[in-house]
Amino acid sequence: MADFKLPELGENITQGTVTKILVKSGETVKKGQNVLELETDKAVLEVPCSIEGVVGEILVQNGAVVKVGQAIFTVNGSSPAAAPSAFAQQKASPAKPETKTPPPPQAAKSPSAAPVSGGVFEMTLPALGENIEKGTVTKIYVKAGDRLDKGKNILEVETDKAVLDVPSIIEGVVKEVLIQSGTVIKVGQPIFKIEGAVSAPAQAQGLPTGEQSPVSVPKQVSVPSSSGVEGNPPSSPSSAIPPVRKDVPAAPSVRLLARELGIDIGQVQGSGPGGRISAADVKAYCKMLNTSRPAGGGVGIAPQALPDLSKWGPVQRSAMSNVRKKTAEHLSMAWNTIPHVTQFDKVDITELEKLRKSISGTNKKISVTPFIIKVVAEALKKFPQFNSSVDMATREIVLKDYVNIGVAVDTDRGLLVPVLKNVDKMSILQISDELAAMAERARLRKTTIEEMQGGCFTISNLGGIGGTYFTPIINWPEVAILGVSRGAMEQVYVDGQFVPRLMLPLSLSYDHRIIDGADGARFIRWVVEAIQQPFLLELKP
């Protein structure tokens, strides 16, 4: 008989509160099986078992605070794990291989080394992009028995920013698919079991030279899987804030309060006996953080619970898509952080419309948007404060020497804003071609992470839907956005008489911390006057 003890949970995490026990006495457990759900100060984790056998006595109960190394339950007829626990594997650095139990020769090879033959190996979800840790599986392109080739797309994953095709970076035969459509998977989580796996060099995987492959080819199937771990990966040394103390004297209710306020309880100094932390200590620390926050940094507003809407009639609930959730979070942050001002104007596009129709053909229709993009690109050079970002942490203005413009695209999943790079160096026709291709990729869920990043200014054109004016929300970290509504024929007083002209409403929102009202008026007037002189625009390369 042996004890299953709580394994290491992550950097600077020494204990947690038991929220659910997933096994019962008399049940047979296997290595890698999730046996405990634990709430720490940082996340809710599912803890996998590192030994096999029959569960004997359960030594903890729901609501108990348990520490790393504490016995959780006894196991009869147990066999110890042949490798470190899943948590220990997750924490281990790629540069520091396990030395206590030397692995077999083939398992010691790097994922990007020479072919590995024999046995079955686990393929894990590779890195998806900067700051992207997880995504929802929308499609699985392979099945058990299929042959994998390097570069072949194996999954379609929807992240907070885009829908991505995930290519394989190893070769072999799929023995088992460990995931299914609709599930949320994390970077590093096993997704397939591969037979006869051969890893790809870093360069072939599209990774920077020297960067480790995210595919865990050397991991034998007999090693416990960490697929059930729901915790966040350890923070990097540069971003982690070490707690003042490891063993923090505080009641579970106080810890819960700290978590709800987004506070690391290890940073709070207790006023009770032996430094014990009370709820008042946590609130005082929170108040100190808020009052010392840099001006303009923004303060989060806790969401208010909805009333019971079903009292007045039937209701239906549906989960937000990843794109919708990210849009809600991003725009809420931008609205609460940036002091918005919106300037309105109208531009006479009668002559522009004649030019647009003259260069549009049967096979190629050019909209008014490429003309506006080209004008705005030139305006950003004329008014550099509109091509900047505000860094309130350092009280600095960051001016950009490049011109990338994002264009809002309406899709069935919500609003996406892919970015056209270096538009100041493109002609109207080039912009039109790239804009059409970019919008098509967005609607087909083929937009890449790179396409969604690096914008300097955003344009949102609702002219195809209708309306007059609206107040677009700035796409942080940009400082301005131009809204375009539907053009309409109006009587305009010109040279002593009223004449019909096609007028296009414009709405310019800008960040009042860096752009004054007079600057906003000058910018939009410059854009209006430039659009009214379309013969000056560069149409062809």
**66 and 192 within one domain:** no
Position 100 in a domain: no
Rounded CA gap, 373 and 485, in Å? 15
Residue 66 and residue 155 in one domain:
no
Q: For the chain, what is the domain count?
A: 4
Q: Is there a single domain that holds both residue 150 and residue 23?
A: no
Lowest mean pLDDT among 40-44, 113-117, 158-162, 519-523: 113-117
Question: Mind telling me the catalytic residues?
Answer: 456, 512, 516
**pLDDT for position 170:** 81
Looking at the fold, whether 365 and 268 belong to one and the same domain comes out as no
517-531 and 369-382 helices cross at what angle (nearest 10)?
130
Q: Residue 300: is its pLDDT beyond 80? A: no
- The pLDDT tens digits for 172-205 are 888 889 998 888 888 888 898 888 766 544 333 4
pLDDT of residue 88: 42
Distances in Å between the alpha carbon of 458 and those of 81, 105, 145?
Answer: 54, 54, 46
Q: Is residue 101 part of a domain?
A: no
Task: Work out the pLDDT band at 80, boundaries 50, 70, 90.
Answer: low
**Cα 510 from Cα 507, distance rounded (Å):** 10
Q: Are 112 and 213 in contact (CB under 8 A)?
A: yes
**Torsion sign, CA atoms 169, 174, 178, 184:** positive
> Are residue 471 and residue 362 in the same domain, yes or no?
yes
Give the CATH number for residue 523. Answer: 3.30.559.10
pLDDT tens string 207-237: 333 333 343 333 333 333 333 333 333 333 3
Residue 280 sits in a domain whose CATH number is 4.10.320.10
From 92, 121, 139, the end of a domain falls on 92
Looking at residues 331-347, what average pLDDT do you find?
90
The 10s digit of each residue's pLDDT in 430-483 is 999 999 998 888 888 788 878 888 999 999 998 888 888 999 999 999 999 999
Residue 218, in any domain of the structure: yes
CATH number at residue 17: 2.40.50.100
Same domain, 355 and 490: yes
Q: Write the single-letter amino acid at 363.
A: N
* pLDDT tens digits along 356-368: 888 887 677 888 9
432 and 360: one domain?
yes
Output 81 or 451, whichever has higher pLDDT. 451
Task: Give the pLDDT confidence score for residue 295 in this predicted structure.
Answer: 46
- pLDDT above 80: residue 539: no
Q: What number is the average pLDDT over the span 124-134?
A: 78
- Residue 128 pLDDT grade (very low, low, confident, very high; cuts 50, 70, 90): confident
Note the pLDDT tens digit of each residue in 508-527.
Answer: 999 999 999 999 999 999 99
504 or 163, which is more confident?
A: 504
**pTM for this model (two decimals):** 0.51
DSSP 226: -
382 and 276 in a single domain? The answer is no
Between residues 273 and 293, which one has the greater pLDDT? 273
Q: What is the average pLDDT score of the chain?
A: 78
Segments forming the whole domain that contains residue 261: 252-291
Verify that 421 and 515 share a domain, yes or no.
yes
**Could you tell me the two tokens for 43?**
């996340």
Backbone dihedral region of 317: left (phi > 0), alpha (psi from -120 to 50 degrees) or beta?
Answer: beta
300 within some domain? no
328 shares a domain with 287: no
Confidence of residue 41 (pLDDT cuts 50, 70, 90): low
Q: What is the token pair recorded at 500?
A: 């019909």
pLDDT value, residue 362: 64
